[in-house]
Amino acid sequence: MQSFSIKKWVPWFLPLVLVFWFFGKKPSEPSVEQVHSTTRLAMGTLVTVSTWGVKGPSEEKAVDRVFTRISQIESLASRQDKSSPVYKINHAPTKKTWPVPEELATIVQKGLEIKKISHGAFDPGLVFLLDLWGFANGVPDVGKIPESQAISSWLENRKNHLEEGIRVEKSPDGTYTLQLDDVSFALDLGAIAKGYALDKAMETMKQAGVANALIIGGGDMVIAGSKGGKPWRIGIQHPRDHDKIMAFSEIVGDMSMATSGDYERFFMVDGERQHHILDPETGRPSRSGLISVSIQAKEGMLADALSTAVFVMGMEKGKAFIEKWEGIEGMLVAENGERWKSVGFKGQWLDGP
Ligand code: FAD
Ligand code: MG
């Protein structure tokens, strides 16, 4: 009988992966330019929108519009919300073709592209497996190890459908359809839709005329501009010490960064950490040896998905992958203490470059 203790979870909605701090006292006079932050719960995590400037009605309106945009995308891509197209597709008989909004088709299509270039390390169709491991709602609802029989039949099924599984098609009239070939490919967009939502949130912010902002959701963030010419300073959570920062970045201009780690959603069984980033090759939590991966890219959706993909690839394949792709930078930390960051990664370890 396996004993297990569920470690005190990280309060799963607290974005403990990234914290950011601002140096210098905030001037109290309202007319002085400063950082204004608003935090709300969205997509199963806390989303913080920070802008630089003088607080006023137009900035407040922009922030409201940003959160409306995020909830629009959440209602498309959530697998928990019964009214979302993802929920309906996941609970319908397979091989049924569904008309889907273009935005959802875009996210799933991108997920399938990243599945291809990551040789299956990233896979947008892992619901069945995640539910087996008890991650139905993001955080583990039962700290149990699934029967290996259930895992092996999923692996068998996946092998037989590897090419298809999930189909996204554009009809001649410009509309999109989506089809699952088998229930074991039900959609989980937890590792890509958040990044997409933050991209769209920043787009909304700029359309509202705000050029200097930082939007953080869980382990992902999108940046624009600066704090009156000074960089946005971001700390990256130490994967084994929640009260510590292990590295920080100073960023001016448009960029995204996403961090994936094995310390956000997990449970312990007989001293082994069963976390929420699954290796589709084994059907189990990834044992790649990595415990934290931060990816910097132009697009938040890409950074989000690649941080998960590289986490599953492990140190050597992850390094090679990051060095191969233009515009992708990364910071990798392994359980054995090994750490690496790519030449162009904007940021440094707290204990030195
Ligand atoms: P990432 O590494 O980016 O993603 C890990 C997540 O991706 C896992 O949780 C799993 O969902 C999935 N995944 C695991 N392995 C792989 C793999 N190999 N390839 C691809 N995907 C994989 N959580 C809640 O608790 N309640 C909610 O109501 C809720 N609603 C959500 C709605 C939306 C639209 C989205 C996008 C997510 C929602 N989540 C919810 C989930 C949650 O916010 C994130 O999935 C979770 O924070 C993990 O994201 P991450 O960036 O920390 O980790
Ligand atoms: Mg992510």
Euclidean distance between CA atoms 172 and 7, whole angstroms: 52
Considering the domain architecture, whether residues 58 and 97 belong to the same structural domain is answered as no
Residues 201 and 320 in one domain: yes
CATH of the domain at 127: 1.10.3980.10
Model confidence over 62-75: pLDDT tens digits? Answer: 999 999 999 999 99
Closest CA to 331 of 283, 287, 285, 297: 297
The whole-number pLDDT of residue 138 equals 66
Assess whether 170 and 236 both reside in one domain. no
E strands in 63-199: 97-100, 166-170, 176-180
Within 251-327, where are the H helices? 300-313, 315-324
* Containing structural domain, residue 304: 6-24+31-77+192-349
Question: 3-state DSSP call for residue 340?
Answer: strand
User: For residues 44 and 47, what is the distance between their CA atoms, to the nearest angstrom?
Assistant: 9
| Position 307 in a domain | yes
Find out whether the beta carbon of 192 lies less than 6 Å from any atom of ligand 1: no
Q: Taking ligand 2, which is a single-atom ion, which protein residues have CB atoms under 5 Å away?
A: 219, 258, 304
Tokens of 343: 């030449």
Q: What is the pLDDT of residues 208-257, one digit of tens each?
A: 999 999 999 998 999 999 999 999 999 999 999 989 999 999 999 999 99
What is the residue whose two structure tokens read 């961090």?
Answer: 259
Residues 165 and 238 grouped into a single domain = no
Q: How many Å lie between the centroid of ligand 2 and the Cα of residue 192?
A: 6
Site to probe by mutation for ligand 1, drawn from 123, 126, 237 as the one with most ligand atoms within 8 Å of Cβ, is 126
Residues 213, 146, single domain; the answer is no
pTM value surpassing 0.75: yes
